[in-house]
Structure 1
């Protein structure tokens, strides 16, 4: 399917894909990732690309790279600092201290895994992204995030959609359960890992969720759909009907959808955007 982009495609996709090039499976060296990210500013899909995600432990190297790049001097490099789940949180504080006054860097937020001490990061004064786990831990984590948001804090939930050695691929009911749980609590969320393609399928022998499926399921969750309905949407592999439904959303529906699904991290940001363009969702 191809053709003209629907009227609300820019609002639907702006800032959707955070650049996670330095994280698995991409594992780009930081200097390569910084250069490529700055070059993306001139790409036709630049408006769809969010900040460069960087491990907090690499903040010092990032500061040096940005300070000597004329492009970052002219317009600061947008950066989100990340501490992976089960890692110490102290590097996050150190990284923020290093970068807060760096003129060539603009900190957009901090990300960490849910643990009993994650609330300490509220003192950083940055928007927080907190990755939740599965089962009872997920429910407890979402409840804690919701309670913190009610107190006026800028916190969103994060969920991993791709497999790792320590994290099994979350199938449709599992991902649907997270989407429903976030919607029931009125929470915004971010996704990470595995969303490299526009539509659900088997890629190189591995199951992967589709970005279009997730966008549509997020809309359905906001409308009150239950887990079985969301799981069915997440499992559909024919792009045509999915794209038609997504393209038919009105401006208010798109705005609500994106207020919930804020962004997702991807180590190859252009790959899914190229597929969206092929499907007619980008010009």
Structure 2
């Protein structure tokens, strides 16, 4: 089903995995060879590490998502960058002429607040977790964000915290982690004009699997037109979870 097609960006350089550049590129190459359709095969790279990427002997990834973590956006014309992600408070870093043709802009906004004046054609990005409990948005805030995007036909990406398919409690941080399957099905609910909050909140694995199997192709298409992808520091865990739940085939 198209619901899981090109869903997961490779965020191996980011916490908590925080791979060394050579390790991240080697894993990315292995993923390319395995050709899973669930992965976007887009390598997310902080702007501050572009020079390190260039120094690697391995060929660069075929697609790079540039995550702006520097005071200025560095030149990237020599690399296959297809998207740039930056926080809403850093929009003044954008060049006057905008980004090069073919490079998509994603503007990160807090789940509980929305930016009305993002550049025309830009999409949004929402953070679903982090290294501390306060980095995880509430179900209500995340649901409101999803509804906002659905109502205004605004595409978005998600990042951080979505380590497993199903919502679960993290005793180390003392917080409930959002599940990427919960998020995906919440978007399906929103595009069908239903409240996404109950699906975001549930920890009932069987219920989520039944919902996932009942999603129509039309709903899946509209949901994935809204949710572009999400970044995961592990490219294996999402595949393992979807296989364990029986939602994808072994070789997907």
TM-score, normalising length: structure 2: 0.88
1:133 aligned to 2:110? yes
Deviations for 1:136-164, whole angstroms, at most 9, x for unmatched residues? xx22x1x223xx33xxx2x2100100134
Residue correspondences, number: 243
Whether contact under 8 Å (1:56, 1:95) holds in the other structure is no
Counterpart of 2:86? 112
5+ residue gaps, structure 1: 1-7
User: Which of 178, 183, 201 in structure 2 is aligned with 1:214?
Assistant: 183
Distance 2:89 2:229 in 1: 22
CA offset at residue 255 of structure 1?
Answer: 1.0
Counterpart of 2:124? 157
Whether contact under 8 Å (1:81, 1:95) holds in the other structure is no
Deviations for 1:192-230, whole angstroms, at most 9, x for unmatched residues? 0010111111144442111111111101111222xxx32
1:234 aligned to 2:200? yes
5+ residue gaps, structure 2: none
Question: Alpha carbon RMSD of aligned pairs, Å?
Answer: 2.1
**Correspondence 1:38-49 to 2 at 5 A:** 38-43=29-34, 46-49=36-39
Greater share of helix residues, 1 or 2? Answer: 1
User: Which of 37, 44, 64 in structure 1 is aligned with 2:55?
Assistant: 64
1:77 aligned to 2:62? yes
After superposition, the Cα gap between the structure-2 partners of 1:77 and 1:236, relative to the gap in structure 1 and judged at 3 Å, is same
Whether contact under 8 Å (2:9, 2:44) holds in the other structure is yes
After superposition, the Cα gap between the structure-2 partners of 1:223 and 1:169, relative to the gap in structure 1 and judged at 3 Å, is same
Distance 2:221 2:206 in 1: 23
User: Which of 117, 125, 134 in structure 2 is aligned with 1:144?
Assistant: 117
TM-score, normalising length: structure 1: 0.79
Distance 2:176 2:132 in 1: 15
Distance 1:204 1:52 in 2: 30
CA offset at residue 38 of structure 1?
Answer: 0.9
Deviations for 1:83-128, whole angstroms, at most 9, x for unmatched residues? 14xx52x1x2x242xxx23xxx421211100026347256122101
1:282 aligned to 2:248? yes
After superposition, the Cα gap between the structure-2 partners of 1:113 and 1:167, relative to the gap in structure 1 and judged at 3 Å, is farther
What SS does structure 2 have at the residue aligned with 1:256? helix
1:183 aligned to 2:158? no
Whether contact under 8 Å (2:167, 2:203) holds in the other structure is yes
Whether contact under 8 Å (1:217, 1:234) holds in the other structure is yes
Q: Which moved more, 1:160-169 or 1:249-258?
A: 160-169
After superposition, the Cα gap between the structure-2 partners of 1:204 and 1:275, relative to the gap in structure 1 and judged at 3 Å, is farther
